[in-house]
Chain A
Amino acid sequence: MREQLEQIKASALREIGACGSLKALDALRVNYLGKKGQLTAILKQMGKLSAEERPAMGQLANDVRKELEEALAARQEALRETELAARLEEERLDVTMPGRAKKTGGLHPLSLVTNDLIDIFQSMGFDVVDGPEVETDHYLFEALNLPKDHPARAMQDTFYLGENLLLRSQTSSAQIRVMEQRKPPIRMVCPGRVFRADEVDATHSPVFHQMEGLVVDKGVTMCDLKGCLEQFVHEIYGPETQVRFRPSFFPFTEPSVEVDITCSECGGKGCRICKGTGWIEILGAGMVHPNVLRGCGIDPEVYSGFAFGVGLDRLAITRSKISDIRLLFENDLRFLEQFN
C-alpha cells in the first residue's frame, strides 16, 4: 500500500507538473482526489490493514493528499497567471485607432472672447450689464456730449429706425443708463452688439460687438485707468505685454486716449502686422467727461471716472488670426469647430 501511495503521489505530481490547462488540472484533481479518485480508492482499502499499520498508512495517505492538494493549488495559481497573461496579450489593442465620443459643440468665438473679458472684469468687481440695441438720440449722442451739430456725429454712419430711434453705434450709451440708475461707486462692463452703416468687406461689418467699461468713484485717476487696462491686457495677451496711451478724442471722455499694446506678433520690434511700429491699437478710453457726469446727476467736482470701449470682433480676430471678419457671421461649421 505504501508503494501504491508513493506511486500515485509520484505520477500525480508528475502529471500536475506537466498539466497545461485549468480544465485538465481539474480533471487531474478529480482523477486523484475525487470521490472516485485514485487516492480515495486507496483510502477505501484502509480497512484491510492491520491496526498497527493503519495509523502510519493513514498518516501517509493524508500527507500525500495534502501534498497533492498543495501541488494542485500551486499549479492552478500558476496556470491562472499564465492564462491571464495570455488573455491580456490576446486583448492588446491598436491604441492609435481613433476614440469614440459624442461630438460636443461649443460657443461662437465672439462669445468666447466676451466671456473671457467678463471673467476678468467681474473678478475686478465690475457688474456685467446689458443695454438696449435700439437707442434714443439722447442716450447715444446727447447725453454722451455730442450735441446736434457735433462733427463727431458724422464720423459714425448710424442706422435710423425713426427720427429719434437709432441702432446703437457704440456701447457707450450703456454708461448713461447705468449712471442714471445708480450712484457711485460704479464699476460696470456692458458687452453687446453695435451697428454702423459700413459696407461689408474683410475688415468691416455693419454688425459688430463692443464691450464698454465704466468706473466712477471719488478720486479715480488716469493711472487707475491704465492699471485696470493693464490687468486686462496681461490676462488676454500675456504679462509681458506693455500698454501705451496715445492722445485721442472722444466727445464723452476728457482726456481721451487710444490704448496701444506691444505687438504680440513681434514683441514690439516692428513687423508687418503692426506696420513696423511695434504697437497695436486695441481700444479707446479716457476720463469720463465732466459734462457727461453732470448730465447724469453726478457732481464732477466730487466724483471722477474712466470709461473704455473694446472691439470684441477685433479681439477675436487678432487673437485667432482670423483673416476676414465676414467669417464670424457666415457660421460655416468648419469655421465654428475651430473654437473650443
Chain B
Amino acid sequence: MKVSLNWLKRYVDIKVPVEELCDRMTMSGFEVEEVEDLSATMENVKVGRILKLEKHPDADKLLVCQLDVGEEEPVQIITGAQNVFEGALVPCALHNSRLPNGAHIKKGKLRGLPSNGMLCSGEELCLKEADYPGAEVYGILILKEEYAPGTDMREVLHLNDVLIDFSVLSNRPDCNSVIGLAREVAVVLGEELRLPKPAYKTCGGDVNEHIAIAVEDYDLCPRYMGRVVKNLRIGPSPDWMKDCLRGAGMRPINNIVDITNFVMLETGHPMHAFNLNDIAGRQIIVRRAREGEKMTTLDGKDHALTPEMLVIADAEKPSCLAGIMGGLESEITENTTDLFLECAKFRRDNVRRTARTLGMRTESSARFEKGVDTIGVEYAMERALQLISELDAGDIVEGVIDRNNGLPAGRVLTVSAARINELLGVDVPYDEMVRILNALEVETTLDGGTLTCAIPYFRDDIESRADLAEEVMRIYGYGHITGTPMRGEVIRGKKLPARVHGDEVKALLAAHGMRETATYSFISAKAVDQLALAQDDPRRRVVPLLNPLSEEYAVMRSQLASSMLTVLATNISRKNPAGRFFELDKVFVPRALPVVEQPEEVPALCIGVYGAEEDFFTLKGVIEALLARCGAEGEFVRSGEPYLHPGRQAKVLLPGCEEPAAVFGEVHPAAAARFGIQERVYLAEVKPAALYACMEKRRALYRPLPKFPASTRDLAVIAGRELPIAEMEKAIRAADSSIIERVELFDVYQGSQIPADKKSVAYSIVLRAPDRTLTDAECDEAMRKILHSLEKIHVKLRQ
C-alpha cells in the first residue's frame, strides 16, 4: 500500500524523521518496501516572471529574458522557445539546479551572452497534462495560477511530499487503507489518531423513491448499501485530493469518481458509482449471472458470464461485475446528473475466482480478495457523502438502503495475561498490555490478571490468546525477546534409516569421483519416448501436472535416466572433457491413473559417466564397489534395457530378489543422440531400496588373519570365445579343493596366436591352508583338480 506522508498526516501527527517512521513501522509488522521523496526529484527550480524579452543580437532564434526570480536583481536567461512573453510566469532552472530527468543546469554563455540557467518545458520537468495543465504543450511551461516569483517549483507542483510503500501482511486487510496505516502509525509513535467524523446535509426526499435494492445471493454479498445523490455538479477535484490520489498511483478524473477512489484508499472499502438514470427499472439486483449473459466493463472489454459470478444487475441485465469493475453502460460521465452510490461487502474467494477467470485485477477486486469488513461499509458510505457535501458535488437524497442478512456481532475475548507472557517468555507488564491493546482499539480492561478484550470490527484476524500475544509483542517490541538455550529432557536426534543409508551411498560414490547433481522433479512427457521405453513399460505411467510451467516440465518423473542424460549432454556441450555424476532422489509411481491419491515416492539412484577413460567396466567397477559397501553379493546378467547398448549392458540380481537391483551399461547411440549426445556415455539406474535392505543386515565379522604363507600359481587356459569369464571362475571355484583362496583374472587374449573361435585366459590362483604351509605336491594336486573342473566346460590348459 503506497501512501503519501501528507495524507497520513491528515490523521496523525508525525514528528519523527521519515527514516525513523519507516524503521518503527517495519519493526511493528509493516515492512517499508520503498520510500520515494518527491521533493528530491528537482532542486533550485523556481518560479520566474519574465520582465523583459529581447532578440539575441547574434542569433535569430534565441531570446534574451530578464526574469524576476524573487532576488534583488533580475536574472538573465537565454531561451530558444518562442511561446514566452513578457509578464509570463515560467519555471526557471537556476545556476546549479537539478531536473527530474537527471540534468544538472549551470550558468554559461550562449552566442556570447551570459545565461544564468534555463527556462523549463513541461517535458523537462517530467510532467504530463494530468500533472499540470499545459504541461505537454510544445515550448516553455507557462504557469496558469499566480505565484510569487522565487516560489519553489516543488511547491507549485505539490512535490513536497514523501511516498511510502508499506507491505501489508495478508492477515491485515484493514491496513490496505490510509486510515488503517495511520492507526498503526499513531500506535507506534504514541500519537493520537484523528479520524474524520462524517456529517453532511441532505436535500430531503426519500431514497426509496429513486431506487429499489434486492440481494438474491447473501452468501456472496453479506451486505449491500446504497444511496442516491441528485443534481450532480461534476468538475475537477481539489488539489489536496488529487495529490493524495496521485501519491497512491491513481489518476484524478472528476470529483465524483475521485471521491469513490479516495474513500476506497482512505477506508479500504471499494465504492461504485452508477449513473442512476441508466439503471433499468430503477432496480438493483445483486445476483449470480445467468448462463449466457454478457456484459462490457468500463475498460471496454466484453465478458461472457457464468452462474459462478456475482453481478449487480438492473431490471434487465448485469451492469457491474460485483466488486471488480463497473459496466460501460452505467458509467459516470460529465453529463451524468443523478448518482446511485454503492458500498458493499462481497465474498473474497468469489471475487478472486471471478477476477481470475476473467483475467481482471483492479484496486477494488484486490481489496475484496484480501477481505473487507462488513461493519465498516457504513462508515465508508458516510465518508463519501461527507466529501460530496464538502465539495458541493451534488444533493444527497435522504435515506439509506442497507441490505444484509445480519451483521456480525462484536467478539469479546477473555484471556489470562500471565498466559500471554508464558507464550512469549517475556514479562510484559500487564498495564502495558492494556495500554497497547487499547491503542490498537482493542477495548481492554484488566481484572485480577484477566484481560477482557472487545475486538474492533475491522480486526477479524484477532481470534485467540496467541493473536493478542502477537499484538502486544509487535508493539512492545520483539527486541525484548532474548534467546534461551534448548531446554527439556536430553533427547538424541535420529535420522531415518533411508537417510543414513543414502548418505553412505552418496559418500561412497563421491569417493569414486562422482559429483552429485540436482535436477527438476518434473520433466517432459516425451522423455519416455527419448528413452525408447516399451509401450507396456511401467515407467511410461507418469503423473501429469494440471498446471505445468511448460511442456518441458509437464509430468512427474518416473525415472532419473532422462534427467541424467540431460546433465551429461549439458556438460558435453560445454566442452567438459569427462565427468562422473550421480543423483539420488525420488521418482513418482502412480497407484492409479488419473491420480486420485498420492503416488508412491520411491528413492532412485542414477549414475552417469563419460570421458576418454570411461568404459563399461569402469562403471561396473563402481557398481561392484557400491554392492560391496552395502554388503550385497550380486550376479551380473545380460539385460535388455531399450536405451542401453544391446551388447554392453547388464543387470544386477541379488539373491532372493526378482527385480534387478541395478541396470547399467553403455547408452545406446540412438538414445544418446535423442538427447543431443554424440559420444559414448555410460549410465546406471540403481534401486536404492534393495541396497538399503542389504545394509540393514550387514555386519562386519572378524576372520582370523592367515598364519601360514600362500602359494601362487599362474594358470593359462584356452576357452571357447563366447564362454563368459564368470562361468570359468565358477568352474575354478567348483574344483574339489579346499585350499583355493583367491582367483584373479590377469589376461584375456584373442588373436592370431590362437584359433579364431577360442580365447586365451590367464589366472593367478592363490592357494592357502589355514593350518600348514602347503607343499608343492598339494599345490600341484589343487591345480590338477582345477583343470579337471575346467575341462567339463571345454576349457583346456594352454600348451
Contacts and interface: CB of A to CB of B under 8 A. Distances in A.
A134 B602 CA distance: 12
A247 B513 contact: no
B588 interface: yes
A108 interface: yes
Given A221-B424, A230-B483, A107 B510 contact: yes
A41 B663 CA distance: 82
B495 interface: yes
Nearest to B494: A127
Given A152-B170, A290-B465, A304-B423, A130 B499 contact: yes
Interface stretch (B58-66, B276-284, B515-523): B515-523
A135 B574 CA distance: 37
Interface stretch (B189-197, B322-330, B468-476, B768-776): B468-476
Given A159-B548, A255-B473, A331-B567, A149 B348 contact: yes
B216 interface: no
Given A128-B496, A151-B170, A221-B425, A106 B487 contact: no
A287 B466 CA distance: 8
Given A133-B521, A255-B473, A333 B349 contact: no
Contact of A125 (B492, B509, B516): B492
A105 B509 contact: yes
A115 B510 CA distance: 15
Interface in A219-272: 219, 221-224, 226-231, 243-249, 251, 254-257
Contacts of A75: none
A337 B515 contact: yes
A133 B521 CA distance: 10
A254 B571 contact: no
B536 interface: no
A230 B470 CA distance: 21
Contacts of A151: 170, 173, 348, 352, 369-371
Interface in A118-172: 118, 121-130, 132-136, 148-149, 151-152, 154-155, 159-162, 165, 167
Interface string B458-488: 0000001111011001100011011111111
B348 to A, nearest CB: 6
A105 B465 contact: no
A221 B419 CA distance: 11
A224 B576 contact: no
Contacts, number: 245
A229 B571 CA distance: 39
Range for the number of chain B residues in contact with chain A? 35 or more
B10 interface: no
A134 B489 contact: no
A105 B580 contact: yes
Interface centre among B521, B581, B582 (most CB of A within 10 A): B521
B596 interface: yes
A48 to B, nearest CB: 56
A330 B570 contact: yes
Interface stretch (A4-12, A63-71, A87-95, A193-201): A193-201
A207 B601 CA distance: 16
Contacts of B516: 105-108, 111, 336
B466 A254 contact: yes
Given A160-B547, A187-B491, A221-B425, A128 B170 contact: no
Interface string B138-181: 00000000000000000000000000000001111100000000
Contacts of B522: 159, 206-207
A36 interface: no
A314 interface: no
Given A148-B349, A289-B466, A224 B486 contact: yes
Range for the number of chain A residues in contact with chain B? 35 or more
A223 B466 contact: no
B448 interface: no
Contact of B514 (A105, A130, A207, A223): A105
Contacts of A133: 521, 586, 588, 601
Chain A binding surface SS class: mixed
Contacts of A195: 521
A303 to B, nearest CB: 11
B598 interface: yes
B581 to A, nearest CB: 7
B515 A222 contact: no
Contacts of A257: 478
A104 B547 contact: no
B177 to A, nearest CB: 16
A206 B549 contact: yes
A223 B481 CA distance: 6
A226 to B, nearest CB: 4
B546 to A, nearest CB: 4
Contacts of B493: 121-128, 187
B594 interface: yes
Given A217-B488, A245-B481, A334 B425 contact: no
A289 B423 CA distance: 11
B511 interface: yes
B519 A226 contact: no
Contacts of B423: 221-222, 287, 304
Contact of A226 (B482, B498, B567): B482
B27 A246 contact: yes
A224 B487 contact: yes
A224 B425 contact: yes
B545 interface: yes
B51 to A, nearest CB: 46
Contact of B498 (A104, A121, A130, A255): A130
Nearest to A160: B546
Nearest to B498: A130
A162 B595 contact: yes
Contacts of A244: 478-479
Contact of B26 (A243, A246, A254): A246
Interface centre among B423, B503, B506, B580 (most CB of A within 10 A): B423
A167 B543 CA distance: 11
B558 interface: no
B504 to A, nearest CB: 12
A100 B661 CA distance: 34
A110 B349 CA distance: 37
Contacts of B520: 206-207, 329
A332 interface: yes
Given A206-B549, A221-B423, A105 B513 contact: yes
B579 interface: yes
A247 B601 contact: no
Contacts of A44: none
A185 interface: yes
14 contacts: A125-B486, A149-B348, A151-B352, A151-B369, A167-B521, A185-B488, A221-B424, A222-B424, A222-B481, A223-B425, A223-B483, A228-B486, A249-B169, A328-B518
Q: Which 4 A-B pairs have the closest CB atoms?
A: A221-B425, A223-B425, A247-B29, A255-B470
Given A106-B515, A151-B170, 6 more contacts: A133-B588, A135-B598, A151-B352, A221-B425, A226-B483, A333-B579
Interface of A: 102-108, 110-111, 115, 118, 121-130, 132-136, 148-149, 151-152, 154-155, 159-162, 165, 167, 185, 187, 193, 195, 197, 199-200, 206-207, 217, 219, 221-224, 226-231, 243-249, 251, 254-257, 287, 289-291, 304, 328-334, 336-337
